[in-house]
């Protein structure tokens, strides 16, 4: 309000008689500029201040109350209307940074000044203070307000914009210096005496254009706006003092006022136009500079370098980082040959082929290669580029970026090594892995896990769960509870499952599950899930077999101890001397030890009948005294022990009293299984001696060996023994049910 009042009082001194209207009204420019600078929120406070200042100034000048109120209302309406129209069509906050906004501002100023001049001219005409017609009064009032607005308001607008982004000290110094030169030139040119009438005086002001152009080109809009206002001030002062081109007394007052207004209007329009045009250029430069800085920072943050290959000159230019990626010292340019020589020799052909392929076909380069640094260290580089072509399609240059990815490659290499070691460890342990995709509900199995589960490389999660729970409801529910019930605070679980594969075979699998959750309470949910599979069928079968072997061994040891006890007792009854007793016991226990050794080596799975016969008869064998015939028969542990004792007693008896006791004796052993179903088949073993000592009469009682044979076959195996002493030697036939003597393994039946 104070500024407006002071400006209004100063403007009163420029009242043009006899119309009593000032030649220029800068107070209107102050009001409009304040509204545009402060924005819509200051509309009513500024309007009230303008009205009050006009009232005070009018009363101070002693004008009638009606005139004071009319002028105050007209000036207030003028500034509010111009500000509203400008903000409505040019936007808020207002800025003179483009020609469209300047044009809108000028149109708003024209319209607002024309409307506000109507009530003011009416009041002046009705007051009788002038003899001039209404149109002349309206024209002078309109011109004075319009010029005051377009010369002063932009200064406030430029100042408000400058406060949001303060100019640097260098910009302030340069702008003030150019303004000083502009004012000096204006004072000099406008102080010269007029020559050739008033209009050449107005044209002389056009000589200020080069100075105004320099200010607009070098400075922000604030400075050219201020320059326009300062020139207007020089015009007003020289005209008011009656000196120079606008103050000479040779011309009429109306002519001098008109030429001053034309000069000020022309200078203001020129200044605003130049400011708008160059502001766009300055903004574009600032935006480009800011964009380049952001790009530089982004490239530096990402360790990216920019490069450009000129295909005509075969030269490469770019940022320092691009040179650093290739290990070179930053230089203005590199030759294409130097870049190629920096590439690792094993990647050089691939690099050149990628460049040529981009030029001829793909237009794109995306390549990872190795580069030598001056210290001879090797670095990995990722190159991405695109070919630029002219209007005829001829390749002109390639623009791209480069990045040092050595660290990433090292991490990838370490990760591959780690994964390889992990895979080797998993393969060594026969462990497979699987992953559950929560989003799709799919389970992905690796090769080994697929072998274990048998559902294929990818399967539904529900199908996997059903497979595990098919024969293991409780175990499956416990092991799979974390993914099924997130409320359970478990992140890792294991379970053993008996599953049936698609081929109908049953296997034992050990399933491990690791689950990652997020959230708590009712919001807790599964994020990811991985697991392992391990086929434990062989281990579980081995454990079960081991348990059976332990039980069998316990049973056999007890039986063996019983047999040994009986052997000792019966040997004492038939012993002729201590040495004979020891020899017989040692031989029989040796036979038992040999068959136990064979059973141990076969893990108690069974012993072949021919092996038992061969080993028991080995001490007595000659090339001509034994014949063996029979199929391969795998005996159970109990049958092997009983039959080995039986063969031992028969061989001992033949060596002492039968065919093996003399040269030329012959023993034939044969066996077969009478064809029938396994349950009813009969294993038949024949022992036939020939060409032995002549037997005069049958013995009065059976010996201990014969008792052992009959007892073992009858009591241990449930079979029968046909033992006969014939003139040629002993004939013994053993008949035992196959189901009593055969092991669980496959049996080769005779043809």
Residue 482: is its pLDDT beyond 60? no
pLDDT of res. 17: 45
- The residue-averaged pLDDT of 87-93 equals 82
Residue 402 in contact with residue 396, Cβ under 8 Å? no
Q: Residue 254 — very low, low, confident or very high, per pLDDT cuts 50/70/90? A: low
Neighbouring-strand partners of residue 199: none
Residue 456 in contact with residue 450, Cβ under 8 Å? yes
pLDDT of res. 632: 86
Q: Which residue has the tokens 């009705």?
A: 126
pLDDT of res. 491: 61
Span 407-457, pLDDT tens digits: 888 888 888 887 788 777 777 777 888 888 877 888 888 888 887 777 788
Q: Residue 750 — very low, low, confident or very high, per pLDDT cuts 50/70/90? A: very low
pLDDT of res. 39: 80
Q: Residue 18 — very low, low, confident or very high, per pLDDT cuts 50/70/90? A: very low
- Spatial neighbors of 527 by CB under 8 A, at least 6 apart, are 438, 516, 517, 518
How far lies 102's CA from each of 86, 99, 105, in Å? 9, 5, 5
pTM: 0.47
Residue 371: is its pLDDT beyond 70? yes
Instruction: Compute the distance between CA of residue 249 and CA of residue 643 in angstroms, rounded to an integer.
Output: 157
Q: Residue 590 — very low, low, confident or very high, per pLDDT cuts 50/70/90? A: low
Residue 707: is its pLDDT beyond 80? no
The percent of residues above 70 in pLDDT, for the chain, comes to 75
DSSP state of 471: S
Return the higher-pLDDT residue of 177 and 291: 177
Q: Residue 397 — very low, low, confident or very high, per pLDDT cuts 50/70/90? A: very high
Return the higher-pLDDT residue of 271 and 696: 271
Return the higher-pLDDT residue of 206 and 185: 185
- The residue-averaged pLDDT of 446-471 equals 77
Return the higher-pLDDT residue of 194 and 16: 194
Residue 746: is its pLDDT beyond 50? no
Residue 14: is its pLDDT beyond 60? no
pLDDT of res. 353: 92
Q: Choose the weakest-confidence range: 246-260, 278-292, 660-674, 685-699.
A: 246-260
Instruction: Compute the distance between CA of residue 174 and CA of residue 382 in angstroms, rounded to an integer.
Output: 46
Six token digits for residue 325:
């990626």
pLDDT of res. 751: 34
Residue 718 in contact with residue 738, Cβ under 8 Å? no
Task: Name the phi and psi angles at 399, rounded to 5.
Answer: -105, 140
Residue 664: is its pLDDT beyond 70? yes
pLDDT of res. 716: 75
Residue 469 in contact with residue 481, Cβ under 8 Å? no
Residue 553 in contact with residue 521, Cβ under 8 Å? no
Three-state SS at 59: helix
Three-state SS at 93: coil
Q: Choose the weakest-confidence range: 78-82, 101-105, 577-581, 733-737.
A: 577-581
pLDDT of res. 113: 84
Residue 109: is its pLDDT beyond 70? yes
Instruction: Compute the distance between CA of residue 232 and CA of residue 724 in angstroms, rounded to an integer.
Output: 155
Residue 20: is its pLDDT beyond 70? no
Span 620-635, pLDDT tens digits: 788 778 888 888 888 8
Span 486-527, pLDDT tens digits: 555 556 667 777 777 777 777 788 888 877 777 776 677 777
In what helix (H) or strand (E) does residue 720 lie, and over which residues does it extend?
A: strand 720-726
Residue 470: is its pLDDT beyond 50? yes
DSSP state of 718: -
pLDDT of res. 564: 64
Instruction: Compute the distance between CA of residue 186 and CA of residue 207 in angstroms, rounded to an integer.
Output: 9
Strands (E), 587-681: 607-608, 626-629, 634-635, 666-674
Mean pLDDT across the chain, nearest whole number?
76
Residue 425 in contact with residue 419, Cβ under 8 Å? no
pLDDT of res. 700: 47
């Amino acid at each position: 309000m104070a500024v407006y009042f002071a400006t209004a009082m100063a403007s009163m001194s420029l009242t043009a008689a006899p119309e009593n209207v000032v030649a220029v009204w800068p107070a209107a420019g102050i009001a409009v500029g304040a509204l545009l600078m402060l924005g819509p929120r200051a509309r009513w406070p500024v309007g009230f201040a303008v009205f009050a200042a006009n009232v005070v100034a009018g009363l101070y000048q002693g004008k009638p109350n009606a005139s004071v109120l009319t002028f105050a209302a007209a000036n207030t309406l003028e500034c509010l209307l111009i500000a509203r129209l400008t903000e409505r069509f040019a936007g808020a906050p207002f800025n003179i940074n483009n020609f469209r906004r300047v044009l809108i501002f000028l149109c708003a100023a024209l319209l607002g000044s024309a409307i506000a001049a109507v009530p003011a001219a009416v009041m002046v005409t009705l007051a009788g203070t002038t003899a001039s017609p209404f149109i002349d009064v309206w024209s002078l009032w309109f011109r004075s307000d319009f010029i005051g607005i377009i010369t002063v308001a932009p200064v406030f607008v430029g100042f408000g914009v400058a406060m949001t982004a303060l100019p640097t000290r260098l910009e302030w110094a340069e702008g003030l210096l150019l303004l000083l030169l502009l004012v000096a030139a204006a004072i000099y040119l406008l102080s010269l005496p007029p020559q050739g009438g008033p209009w050449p005086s107005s044209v002389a002001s056009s000589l200020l254009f080069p100075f105004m152009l320099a200010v607009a080109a070098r400075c922000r809009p604030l400075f050219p706006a201020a320059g326009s206002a300062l020139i207007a001030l020089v015009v007003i002062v020289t005209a008011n003092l009656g000196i120079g081109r606008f103050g000479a007394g040779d011309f009429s007052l109306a002519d001098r006022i008109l030429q001053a207004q034309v000069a000020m209007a022309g200078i203001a329009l020129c200044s605003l136009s130049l400011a708008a045009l160059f502001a766009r250029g300055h903004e574009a430069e600032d935006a480009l500079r800011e964009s380049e800085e952001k790009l530089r920072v982004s490239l530096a943050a990402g360790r990216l370098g920019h490069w450009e290959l000129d295909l005509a000159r075969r030269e490469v230019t770019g940022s320092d980082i691009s040179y650093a990626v290739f290990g070179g010292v930053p230089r203005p340019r590199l030759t294409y040959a130097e870049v190629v020589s920096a590439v690792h020799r094993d990647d050089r052909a691939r690099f050149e082929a990628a460049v040529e392929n981009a030029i001829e076909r793909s237009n794109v380069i995306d390549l990872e290669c190795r580069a030598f640094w001056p210290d001879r260290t090797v670095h990995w580089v990722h190159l991405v580029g695109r070919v630029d072509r002219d209007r005829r399609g001829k390749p002109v240059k390639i623009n791209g970026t480069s990045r040092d990815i050595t660290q990433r490659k090292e991490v990838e290499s370490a990760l591959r090594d780690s994964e390889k070691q992990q895979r080797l460890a998993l393969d060594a342990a026969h462990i497979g892995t699987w992953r559950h995709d929560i989003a799709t509900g799919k389970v992905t199995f690796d090769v080994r896990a697929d072998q274990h589960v048998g559902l294929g490389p990818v399967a539904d999660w529900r199908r996997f769960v059903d497979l595990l729970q098919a024969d293991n409801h409780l175990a499956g529910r416990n092991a799979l509870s974390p993914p099924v019930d997130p409320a359970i605070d478990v992140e890792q679980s294991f379970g053993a499952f008996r599953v049936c594969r698609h081929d109908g075979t049953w296997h034992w699998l050990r399933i491990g599950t690791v689950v990652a959750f997020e959230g708590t309470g009712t919001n807790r949910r599964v994020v990811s899930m991985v697991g392992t599979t391990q086929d434990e069928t062989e281990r579980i079968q081995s454990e079960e077999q081991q348990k059976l072997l332990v039980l069998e061994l316990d049973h056999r040891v007890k039986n063996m101890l019983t047999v040994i006890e009986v052997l000792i007792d019966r040997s004492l009854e038939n012993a002729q001397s201590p040495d004979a007793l020891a020899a017989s016991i040692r031989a029989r226990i040796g036979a038992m030890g040999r068959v136990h050794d064979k059973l141990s080596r076969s893990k108690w799975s069974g012993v072949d009948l021919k092996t038992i016969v061969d080993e028991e008869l080995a001490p007595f064998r000659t090339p001509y005294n034994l014949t063996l015939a029979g199929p391969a028969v795998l005996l159970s542990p109990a049958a092997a022990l009983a039959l080995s004792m039986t063969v031992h007693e028969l061989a001992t008896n033949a060596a002492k009293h039968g065919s093996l006791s003399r040269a030329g004796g012959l023993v034939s052993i044969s066996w077969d299984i009478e064809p029938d179903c396994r349950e009813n088949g009969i294993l038949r073993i024949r022992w036939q001696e020939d060409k032995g000592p002549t037997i005069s009469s049958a013995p009065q009682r059976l010996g201990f060996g014969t008792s052992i044979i009959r007892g073992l076959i009858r009591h241990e195996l449930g079979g029968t023994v046909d033992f006969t002493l014939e003139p040629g030697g002993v004939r013994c036939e053993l008949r035992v049910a196959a189901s009593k003597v055969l092991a669980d393994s496959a049996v080769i039946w005779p043809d």
